[in-house]
């Protein structure tokens, strides 16, 4: 078997190696991922987001077990904080989770953000495709939720879980930030602690407020109390995740979600490449250097500069369309 065949067969070492290579943005690895593309789209991507400390990692460990009992294979992509200052606390959880991975049908990988979130997002997208191709039924994408960047990563999943805990008092914060709108399932974890029902009631209030105009075809995010200590609600959560996947497939939301994710991925790659090309050209192109000097010397505002380039791009596009029309 060659490398690609090994990945398709789910060989753990080959999968791990390719993910490492895409994380480093190696051109050969990205070419491999591109080659896979027509065979992607089978796995169920589940995003798990929420504030630090609500027990997301333990919940992920419980979900892995539940899915395994159903005979499903599981991939986990754990996205560590974008923060250069925090993050140590997570490592303990991660070590705990890795115990599970003696099971060959479970693949767990952590991503720490080095530098910008854009690069992280690209690597996680590619890793999700690799796990998809390697035959994983479910890919859990856990983000620590401290930054908008992680939330953007979570929302690329087919099913998004928002995890809170009793008495967290952040329901309103989450609502304001538009998190609740993207949540397909709301989880009140650590339900063995007091205050769980109040948090559920709060979430219901917000949800009723938001769902006024929804019809019966629309998914109303279930609110599920869970505890990894008492095992409460974990089966319900597993079923809700699977039910949501069925729902989006029946309602043709699946294709729409894939399209949205891929357009976002395209725009991220494209804008990053435009930046790189610009900085590369700036090194040698004297006309461009002169133009940038004007920006730096307070002669040409960055807004005006952007407008100039945008209209050049537009002009080129119009010209192209004209040529196309003449050729037809």
Residues 79-118 that bind a copy of itself (CB under 8 A): 82-88, 113-117
Shortest Å, Cβ 186 to a copy of itself: 14
Shortest Å, Cβ 228 to a copy of itself: 20
* Stretch of 6-14, 169-177, 214-222, 240-248 lying at the interface with a copy of itself (CB under 8 A): 169-177
**Residue 298 touches a copy of itself, criterion: CB under 8 A:** yes
**Residue 290 touches a copy of itself, criterion: CB under 8 A:** no
Among 145, 166, 196, 233, binds a copy of itself (CB under 8 A): 145
Give the separation between CA 49 and CA 153, rounded to whole angstroms: 9
Q: Decide if 166 contacts 191 (C-beta within 8 A).
A: yes
**Residue 70 touches a copy of itself, criterion: CB under 8 A:** no
Complex with a copy of itself: residue 16 or 112, whichever CB lies closer: 112
User: Which residues touch 73 (CB under 8 Å, ≥6 apart)?
Assistant: 10, 67, 105, 106, 135, 136, 137, 138
Q: Is 14 exposed, middle or buried (0-12, 13-18, 19+ CB in 10 A)?
A: buried
Complex with a copy of itself: residue 96 or 260, whichever CB lies closer: 260
Buried b (16+ CB within 10 A) or exposed e, 181-199: ebbbbbbbbbbeeebbeeb
Among 99, 214, 312, 322, binds a copy of itself (CB under 8 A): 312
Binders of a copy of itself in range 258-287 (CB under 8 A) = 258-260, 262-263, 265-267, 269-271, 273-275, 277-278, 282
- DSSP code of 33? H
Binders of a copy of itself in range 4-33 (CB under 8 A) = 30, 33
E strand or H helix at 253, and its extent? helix 253-284
Q: Is 143 exposed, middle or buried (0-12, 13-18, 19+ CB in 10 A)?
A: buried
* Own/partner long-range contacts of 257-264 (Cβ < 8 Å, ≥24 apart): 257/158, 258/41, 261/125, 261/156, 264/156
- DSSP code of 11? -
Shortest Å, Cβ 212 to a copy of itself: 23
Judged by CB under 8 A, the number of residues near a copy of itself is: 80
Complex with a copy of itself: residue 70 or 176, whichever CB lies closer: 176
Shortest Å, Cβ 92 to a copy of itself: 16
* Stretch of 208-216, 218-226, 233-241, 312-320 lying at the interface with a copy of itself (CB under 8 A): 312-320
Site string for a copy of itself, 174-203 (x = CB under 8 A): x-xxxx------------------------
Give the separation between CA 154 and CA 132, rounded to whole angstroms: 16
Give the separation between CA 183 and CA 224, rounded to whole angstroms: 12
Complex with a copy of itself: residue 64 or 248, whichever CB lies closer: 248
């Amino acid at each position: 078997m060659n490398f690609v065949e090994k990945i398709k067969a789910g060989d753990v070492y080959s999968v791990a190696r390719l993910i490492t290579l895409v994380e480093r943005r190696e051109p050969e690895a990205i070419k491999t991922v591109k080659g896979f593309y027509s065979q992607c789209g089978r796995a169920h991507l589940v995003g798990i987001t929420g504030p630090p400390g609500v027990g997301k990692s333990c919940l992920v460990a419980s979900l892995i077990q539940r899915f395994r009992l159903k005979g499903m294979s599981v991939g986990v992509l754990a996205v560590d904080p974008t923060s250069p200052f925090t993050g140590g606390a997570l490592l303990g959880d991660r070590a705990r989770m890795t115990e599970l991975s003696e099971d060959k049908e479970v693949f767990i990988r952590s991503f720490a953000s080095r530098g910008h979130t854009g690069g992280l997002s690209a690597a996680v997208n590619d890793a999700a495709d690799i796990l998809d191709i390697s035959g994983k039924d479910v890919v859990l994408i856990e983000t620590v939720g401290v930054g908008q960047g992680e939330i953007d990563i979570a929302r690329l999943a087919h099913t998004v879980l928002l995890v809170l805990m009793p008495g967290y008092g952040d329901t309103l914060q989450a609502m304001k930030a538009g998190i609740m709108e993207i949540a397909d399932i709301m989880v009140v974890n650590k339900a063995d602690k007091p205050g769980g029902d109040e948090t559920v009631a709060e979430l219901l209030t917000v949800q009723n407020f938001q769902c006024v105009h929804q019809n019966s075809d629309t998914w109303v995010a279930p609110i599920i109390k869970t505890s990894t200590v008492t095992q409460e609600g974990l089966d319900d959560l597993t079923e809700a995740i699977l039910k949501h996947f069925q729902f989006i497939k029946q309602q043709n939301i699946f294709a729409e979600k894939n399209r949205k994710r891929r357009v976002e991925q395209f725009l991220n790659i494209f804008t990053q490449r435009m930046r790189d090309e610009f900085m590369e050209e700036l090194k040698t192109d004297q006309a461009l250097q002169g133009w940038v000097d004007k920006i730096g010397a307070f002669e040409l505002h960055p807004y005006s500069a952007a407008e100039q380039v945008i209209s050049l791009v537009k002009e080129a596009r119009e010209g192209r369309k004209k040529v196309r029309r003449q050729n037809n």
